[in-house]
Amino acid sequence: MSSSNLLTIFQNEILVIAFITWAIAQVVKPFIGYLITRSFDWRMFFSTGGMPSSHATLVTSVAVGVGLMVGWATPVFAVAATLAVVVIYDAAGVRRQAGIHAQTINVLVQEVLQGNPISETELREVLGHTPIEVFGGILWGSLATFTIWYFWK
């Protein structure tokens, strides 16, 4: 594949819009985090957590872009929407639970290192990203994609 063919990827409107919405979601995370915690964390520019969910933003933007370009009743939109649901579920469930487990393990390690007995509390088994983070990602992905799409055209 020649490099000129590879550059045609920038002609893919859906992909370009999706990455613009994702990048904006990543950039605003530290600022939204500051509004919530009153401390600025630069690491949020590169983190996978926080508000809005950039995973939800990206896949929602792709699905909305596909719907706008080829139609809402097409098989390709069905594939994009289904993929979005799976990724959002994973971001909201498995990754969130892994983070909770990591926090608990870190506490346990610190207690053992300090010579304290380990508490017998059970881990929560409810899977879920915070609903507001997922909703924020879906809302941002949808609104930004519609806005950019109609300004682009």
**What is the DSSP secondary-structure string of 11-62?**
G-HHHHHHHHHHHHHHHHHHHHHHHHHSS--GGGGT-S-SSS-HHHHHHHHH
Structure confidence at residue 127 (pLDDT): 40
Please state which of the ranges 2-16, 66-80, 97-111, 120-134 shows the lowest mean pLDDT. 120-134
Question: Which tens digit of pLDDT belongs to each residue from 63-109?
Answer: 999 999 999 999 999 999 999 999 888 877 776 677 777 777 777 77
Respond yes or no on whether the N-terminal peptide bond of residue 131 is cis (omega within 30° of 0). no
What does the alpha-carbon distance between residue 94 and residue 65 come to, in Å, rounded to a whole number?
26
Provide the residue ranges of all domains of the chain, joining segments of one domain with +: 3-93+128-152
Read off φ and ψ for residue 123, nearest 5 degrees.
-75, 145
pLDDT mean across residues, the chain: 82
Determine how many CB atoms are found less than 10 A away from the CB of residue 49: 17
Structure confidence at residue 55 (pLDDT): 87
Give the CA count within 13 Å in the CB-facing half-sphere of 143.
9
Confidence of residue 59 (pLDDT cuts 50, 70, 90): very high
Confidence of residue 43 (pLDDT cuts 50, 70, 90): confident
pTM score, whole prediction: 0.72
Q: Which residues contact 95 (CB under 8 A, 6 or more apart)?
A: 48, 129
